[in-house]
Each structure stands twice: as C-alpha cells, then as structure tokens.
Amino acid sequence: MKNLEQFFRDAASVGIIDFALRASIVDGERVTFYVHPHGKDGETLDFTVTGNVLTPPGEFSPLAGPKPDASITIDRFGDRFSAVTGPDERGMALGIAANPDHTAAQSLSSALDFAREQLMANVSGEAVTLCSDRRMILMSADNPAGRKLEDLLPQIAGEVEAKTLKIAADPRPVARRVAENNARIVKLLEEAETLQRASLEALASIGPDEGPLGAPRIGSAA
C-alpha cells in the first residue's frame, strides 16, 4: 500500500495540495482516518493512528512510544489481549493480534507466551521469526488456533460490502470505480468460498475431520 509521504508527493505532482480528512474512533479505542484530495478526484488512503505512528489497514498497529529492545507491553482490547515488543533494529514493532476465537483466558495466555518468548530472544532475529509464526491466520497443524478459510471468506466479503456502502453516495468516478472493483472482489470471494466448501465435501468422503492436530486425510503431516 502507498505510504502517506508518497501519496502527498504524487498529489503534488499533479497540482493537488488541499485534502479532506475524516477521523473516527472505532470501538471506543482505535483512532482511524482517511484522507482524500479536497474537491478533486484522486486516491483515498486509510490509516490507524497511534500517537504519531500511522498503520495501514490489515497491519498490526503498535502502541504509541514503543519501548526499546526487549521490553514487552501486554494490551487489553475488551476481553482480548495482545503483546507488543519495542522496535527491532529496523524500527518495526513486533506483536501478535488478538484472536477473536479465543476466550479471555486463552488470549491472555497467548500474549504471555509471546512475551516470554520475545524476552528470551531479546528481540533478535529469532524474535522476528516467532512474531511471524504468531501472525498466521489460517488453521493448520502449525496454527491450531487459527481461523477456517470457509469462515474467513464470507466475513471478508461482508466487510468489503460494508466499505462499499460507505461510498455509495459518492458520485465521483474514482468512488464508482472502487465500488465496482469491490463488487467484483465480493463475487470472487464468494466463488472462493464455493471452491473451499467443495474441497471440504471431497475430504469428508475420505473420513471425518480430526482437527488441525489430527491425522491428515490427504498428503502428510510433514
């Protein structure tokens, strides 16, 4: 995704210097905003803002003022928990996102496990690997607490449709193009869900699902 600096540079190259910005507070916690050229066609960028740190949609949002080196902060979002380290040598915040399928106790346990591993690794290259593994999304033997693809696809489609509703009244060509693209994305996601459910039916013909830690019905556990 384009960063805010490049967004402004590209806009300036075509004479756009005025912008409209709309900010929102999501779930009483996260501050988000989008910025768009004022009164002109152009791109729209969305960000979550934490202190002076901007995070694009879909990326983990660090806490403001992350502490250096091996410090760990465990943060609570309602009944969910996540853990964040300070920046590594590249200035990146490492962390895990709260899993919506976990209970509060499981979320806290996961955050504590992550914090323990990061402190032992001292935010080294090993810590980066641990962080990457923690952020896997799909359920698997390596990520038994992950989400099922057949559940994620309709959820994502619903969120895309919700985003489309927010621009439904915008008559500008860019908004219309985004809405059309979103409609196509939703259709493709629906087709992907159909394929995934067909795969599940095929697997069911072999035998019952033993779960992510059970014996695989095709392939191998390796």
Report pLDDT for 85. 60
Question: Which of the listed ranges 98-102, 109-113, 119-123, 204-208 does the model predict with the highest average pLDDT?
Answer: 204-208
- 3-state SS string over 17-81? CCEEEEEEEECCCEEEEEEEECCCCCCCEEEEEECCEEECCCCCCCCCCCCCCCCEEEEEECCEE
Contact by Cβ (8 Å): 52, 73: no
Q: Do residues 118 and 95 make contact, with C-beta atoms less than 8 angstroms apart?
A: no
| pLDDT reported for residue 81 | 65
Residues 85-108, buried b or exposed e (16+ Cβ, 10 A)?
bbbbeeeebbbbebbeebeeeebb
Could you tell me which residues come within 8 angstroms of residue 212 by beta carbon, excluding any fewer than 6 positions away?
139, 140, 141, 143, 144, 146
Give me the pLDDT at residue 181, please: 95
Per-residue pLDDT averaged across 181-200, rounded? 95
pLDDT above 70 as % of the chain? 68
Nearest residue to 119 (alpha-carbon basis) of 54, 167, 73, 188: 73
Mean of pLDDT values over 72-99: 58
The whole-number average pLDDT for the span 202-213 is: 88
Task: List the alpha helices (DSSP H) in 97-222.
Answer: 104-121, 125-134, 149-166, 173-204
CA atoms 181, 179, 147, 114: torsion sign: positive
Phi, psi for residue 158 in degrees, rounded to 5 = -65, -35
**34 or 117, higher pLDDT:** 34
Q: Alpha-carbon distance 48 to 37, whole Å?
A: 19
pLDDT at position 104 is 72
175/30: higher pLDDT = 175
State the chain's mean pLDDT as an integer. 76
Q: What is the CA radius of gyration of the chain?
A: 21
Condensed to tens digits (0 to 9), the pLDDT of residues 147-172 reads 889 999 999 999 999 999 999 999 99
